[in-house]
């Protein structure tokens, strides 16, 4: 079984436009069309059972349409994480609504949403996630489409983790994209959830393996950032690290299943 904790998709009628705009912003080509059906086809090719879809509200007004679409696409194989915008007049209330609608988590992105993760303005959001036991998947590290400002780096993640000890914060890209020395300094070895997307493609295998094996095995999650990487290749890259079978299982699905409350679906 494989659970991909970090994917993206868009409603059919805007996928083409959204992907074109995003591709222009980062000079990377997507690996599929960015619709639910193209994601499902990619999952079938890669042997991925379940994908978490991380939506990002780039303005406060996108809260309602993202929430409505997220409800519509929820299925056994698709687990959407809606989003709210930090400039929302009452972002903590939006967290509550997302929880009440039955979602397991939310996604935030400091670069696309113009915030720094240690900003006090964000604290009510973290408190609300903590209160409702809602997972917070937050883009961390640098971002390919933006200048390298330190708004989502490992030191700040650690600050938030110590300030909100009950917050289920999941960092992306093996702790912080292209900031892996800082990840090692501040996060590696601590009980901090991280998914591994877009890291095995960029790091030498030995370095990736070092960062993974030094981290508590219960805190690593498989992710791809599809359609920005190829899910089949990402699965192969993780297998190619030849981790202990139990660690590999933890990363591919056990930890994710536990966080998502899907233990009953696990193979024996
Ligand atoms: Zn992403």
Rounded distance from Cα 173 to ligand 1 centre (Å): 9
Rounded distance from Cα 139 to ligand 1 centre (Å): 7
| pLDDT at res. 266 | 74
Residue 221 CB contacts under 8 Å (≥ 6 apart), including other chains: 3, 5, 170, 193, 194, 195, 196, 251, 255, 256, 259
Which residue, chain included where needed, has tokens 């289920």? 168
pTM of the model: 0.96
Low-confidence ranges of the chain (pLDDT < 50): none
Nearby residues for ligand 1 (ion, Cβ within 5 Å): 225
| pLDDT at res. 28 | 84
Fold classified for 3-263: TIM Barrel (3.20.20)
| pLDDT at res. 126 | 98
User: How far apart are the C-alpha atoms of 255 and 262, rounded to whole Å?
Assistant: 10
Domain locations in the chain? Answer: 3-263
| pLDDT at res. 24 | 86
Rg (CA), the chain: 17
CA-nearest of 83, 91, 95, 194 to 141 is 194
Rounded distance from Cα 171 to ligand 1 centre (Å): 11
Rounded distance from Cα 219 to ligand 1 centre (Å): 19
pLDDT digits (tens, 9 = 90+) for 179-190: 999 999 999 999
| pLDDT at res. 191 | 97
User: How far apart are the C-alpha atoms of 166 and 163, rounded to whole Å?
Assistant: 9
Rounded distance from Cα 108 to ligand 1 centre (Å): 10
| pLDDT at res. 144 | 87
| pLDDT at res. 264 | 82
Rounded distance from Cα 268 to ligand 1 centre (Å): 31
């Amino acid at each position: 079984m494989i659970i991909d904790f970090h994917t993206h998709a868009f409603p059919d009628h805007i996928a083409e436009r959204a992907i074109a705009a995003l591709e222009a912003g980062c000079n990377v080509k997507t690996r599929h069309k960015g619709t639910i059906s193209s994601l499902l086809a990619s999952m079938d090719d890669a042997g991925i059972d379940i994908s978490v879809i991380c939506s990002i509200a780039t303005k406060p007004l996108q809260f309602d349409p993202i929430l409505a679409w997220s409800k519509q696409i929820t299925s056994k194989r698709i687990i959407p994480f809606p989003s709210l915008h930090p400039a929302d007049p009452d972002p903590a209330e939006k967290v509550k609504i997302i929880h009440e609608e039955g979602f397991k988590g939310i996604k935030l992105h400091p670069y696309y949403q113009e915030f720094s993760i240690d900003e006090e303005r964000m604290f009510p959001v973290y408190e609300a996630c903590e209160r409702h036991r809602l997972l917070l998947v937050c883009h961390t590290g640098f971002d390919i489409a933006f200048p390298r400002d330190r708004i989502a780096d490992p030191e700040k993640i650690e600050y938030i983790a110590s300030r909100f000890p009950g917050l289920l914060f999941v960092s992306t890209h093996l702790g912080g994209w292209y900031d892996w020395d800082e990840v090692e300094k501040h996060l590696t070895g601590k009980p901090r959830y991280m998914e591994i997307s877009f890291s095995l493609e960029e790091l030498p295998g030995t370095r990736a393996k070092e960062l993974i094996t030094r981290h508590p095995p219960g805190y690593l999650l498989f992710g791809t950032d599809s359609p920005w990487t190829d899910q089949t290749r990402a699965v192969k890259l993780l297998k190619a690290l030849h981790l202990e079978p139990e660690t590999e299982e933890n990363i591919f699905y056990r930890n994710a299943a536990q966080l998502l409350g899907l233990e009953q679906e696990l193979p024996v």
